[in-house]
Amino acid sequence: MTRHEEISTFFLVLRRVRKTLIALIVIYAVAVLGLTLAPGLPGEDGQPTRLSFFHAFYFISYTATTIGFGEIPAEFSEQQRLWVLVCIYLSVIGWALFIGSLLQLLQDTNLQNAIRVRRFALEVRKLHEPFYIVCGYGETGRLLCAALDRMGFRVVVLEIRAQRLADIELQSYSADMPHLATDAGNPQVLRMAGLTQRHCKGLIALTNDDACNLAAAMTGRLLAPRLPVLARAEKPETVDNMASFDTRHIINPFEKFSSYLALAMHAPAAYHLLIWLTGLSGTTVSRHRDPPRGPWVLLGFGRFGRSLAQRMAQEGLPVAVIDLHEAPQEPLDGVRWIQGDGTGASALRRAGIEQAVGIIAATANDVNNLSAAVTARQLNPHVFVIVRQNEHTNQPLFKSLRADITMVPSEIIAQECLAILTTPMLAPFLQRLESEGEPWCEQVLERLTARFDGQTPHVWSVRISEAETPALLRHLQAGEIIRLGDVLRQPSRRSEPLDCEALQIDQREGERLMMPGPEVVLAPGDELLLAGRRSAQSALALTVNNEHALNYVLTGRDLPGSWVWRWLSRQ
């Protein structure tokens, strides 16, 4: 919060209580003046004594607040006591009016907002550790915040709906999350949220409003060009607009899932490997049957349905679309239109559900999607079922349905964001899966799932540099030849390998090695993409950072701890 905003909050309070405050000041002034003019008891010279302004103000100050310490500096006369009696009633009325206006002010919405903004700005200013700004706390934002919190990152949340932010207080996050109910597209708000602070690691715009995401992405690109900006966009024109000012990562959940489905149809092994590597770490992902080729039924022709229809048309698959609206003026090739209610058996039969190999329930209504899937299975027990889940609260229903594929937009976006933020090397690796071929993907998938018992591994990257691997870098700069297999060993028992696999090495010369073997020679500047247990990441970090651990892993000998012992060991 700027100095100007702090002053404006102060003057907001003064404006709301100015009438009663002025009345209270006038009462004090009149009371003090009257008390100085009222004659007191006769003095030694026989003349009436009078109170000074200081004594009068002192007496009124404690009398007006009903404290009452007595008559000072001397006993009062009858005239003075009469005036004090009037002052007591006047001051009580004045204080009652002033306190009442304060209580009314505390219920004022504008003041409450100003206080919340000030508190939010102070909380953000006190952040002295890496944090991300998340715009939007819906289904996707909640998943992403929970994942970032588990990874040890602080999060600043901006959400326009205050009722959604109430959920933050109910969650058991390991650290407090500064949050504010406001428009995340406002540049001043983003600056207040820490966009230009040196500890800010990135901006993630995940609201349901494409215009707000566009404004946030543009603000991040202009005010903090060094930061990665991830923005959600569902409309094609928004995607084009974001791309025009070089937004680094634009995430469209519908396009992303459509590409996944197309990949699953012509490269199932690559698809399963992609899904397995991008899942939540530690969860078990079971391999479902592959989507068959043949006629499909698509329920719903919104943004998601249109994207799916276009992808399936590109794959040469006939599609029957069921929608309540009339057919568009520019129909897609290979798409047959059935106007009707897709949850009923009549429309499904007209779409040819009995002969179809699969159905995709892609509406924005979970109840309709579930109903259509159940009805389709009754008419065709062997149909391949893909359903779209919109609300996280309906997860038990979709789990009971046991669809072949459940598409959850919030999870797709959250997983994509985490992959980009935590392991930037993973995206290029996944993009090359299809080009490597199905036999290669099948071999890698079987090898990795067998090693990690089908559980989704933890994926991370390491760059051979002074910042991340100081001990390993010193050995390489000294001319030692160190191979990949030499460092992927337990630092406590070098005969045992680390529970991880190297997926890719980006060498300093620009060459990229996929699934490198243990014989690959490491060099300064190489970047490694690894997958395995979280314990393996900690063990590898110890090896490449600690001179003693690295020496043991490479040679099998413990290095003496101090220079004295090292000198003695050489004698």
Q: Note whether residue 120 is domain-resident.
A: no
Do 161 and 244 fall within a single domain? Answer: yes
Q: Is residue 440 part of a domain?
A: no
Q: Are 321 and 382 within 8 A, CB to CB?
A: no
Can you give the CATH number for the domain in which 10 is found?
1.10.287.70
Average pLDDT over residues 512-516: 92
Mean pLDDT to the nearest integer, 494-506 = 92
Cα 423 from Cα 459, distance rounded (Å): 7
Closest CA to 98 of 16, 43, 155: 16
Closest CA to 57 of 26, 91, 90, 31: 31
Q: Looking at the structure, tell me whether residues 145 and 197 fall in a common domain.
A: yes
Q: Which residues pair with 336 in a beta bridge?
A: 320
d(CA 19, CA 155): 43
Q: Identify the band that residue 181 occupies on the pLDDT scale cut at 50, 70 and 90.
A: very high
Greater confidence, 514 or 3?
Answer: 514
Residues 224 and 278 in one domain: no
Residue that is written with structure tokens 């690959």 in the block: 520
544 and 395 within one domain:
no
Distance CA 534, CA 449 (A): 16
pLDDT for the residue numbered 329: 77
Residue whose pair of structure tokens reads 């932010």 in the numeric block:
165
Confirm whether 448 is domain-assigned.
no
Average pLDDT over residues 103-117: 82
Residues contacting residue 322 through CB under 8 Å, at least 6 positions apart: 297, 298, 299, 300, 338, 339, 340, 341, 342, 347, 348, 351
What digits encode the pLDDT tens for the residues 228-239?
999 999 888 999
From 73, 107, 141, the end of a domain falls on 107
In a domain, 46, yes or no: yes
> Which of 210-219, 258-267, 427-436 has the largest mean confidence?
210-219
- Model pTM? 0.77
Same domain, 79 and 132: no
Residue 234 included in any domain: yes
Domain range for 54 is: 3-107
Residues 476 and 561 in one domain: yes
The answer to whether residues 309 and 412 belong to one domain is yes
Secondary structure class of 249 (helix, strand, coil): strand
For 318-364, the pLDDT digits (tens) are 999 999 888 887 767 778 999 998 888 999 999 999 999 999 999 98
Q: Mark whether 269 and 333 lie in a shared domain.
A: yes
- 91 plus 134 within the same structural domain: no
Would 442 be classed as within a structural domain?
no
What confidence tier does 314 reach under pLDDT thresholds 50, 70, 90? confident
**pLDDT given at position 69:** 72
Together in a domain, 379 and 476 = no
Q: How confident is the model at residue 565 (pLDDT cuts 50, 70, 90)?
A: very low
Residue 61 lies in a domain: yes
Task: List the 131-135 sheet strands across, edge first.
Answer: 179-181, 154-159, 131-135, 200-205, 229-232, 249-251
Rounded Cα gap, residues 123 and 521, in angstroms: 47
The CATH number of the domain where 222 resides is what?
3.40.50.720
Domain shared by 259 and 355, yes or no: yes
Predicted pLDDT of residue 540: 95
Tens digit of each residue's pLDDT (9 = 90 or more) over 481-492: 999 999 999 998
Q: Are residues 314 and 405 in the same domain?
A: yes
What distances in angstroms separate CA 328 from CA 86, 234, 323, one per listed residue? 83, 19, 11
Domain boundary among 230, 251, 272: 251
Q: Evaluate whether 132 touches 149 at the Cβ level (below 8 Å).
A: no
Side chain identity at residue 367, one-letter code: V
Question: Cα dist. 184→1, 133, 561 in Å?
Answer: 16, 10, 53
Q: What is the pLDDT of residue 570?
A: 53
Given a cut of 80, whether residue 9 has pLDDT beyond it is no
Taking the mean position of all CA atoms in its chain, how far away is CA 474? 37
Residue 525's CATH number: 3.30.70.1450
Question: What is the percent of the chain where pLDDT is above 70?
Answer: 95
CA distance 288 to 309: 22
| Domain membership flag for residue 60 | yes
CA–CA separation, 556 and 516 (whole Å): 24
Q: Which of 251, 277, 294 is the last residue of a domain?
A: 251
Q: Which helix H or strand E contains 8, and what residues bound it?
A: helix 3-37
Domain count, the chain: 4
Q: Are 268 and 317 in contact (CB under 8 A)?
A: no
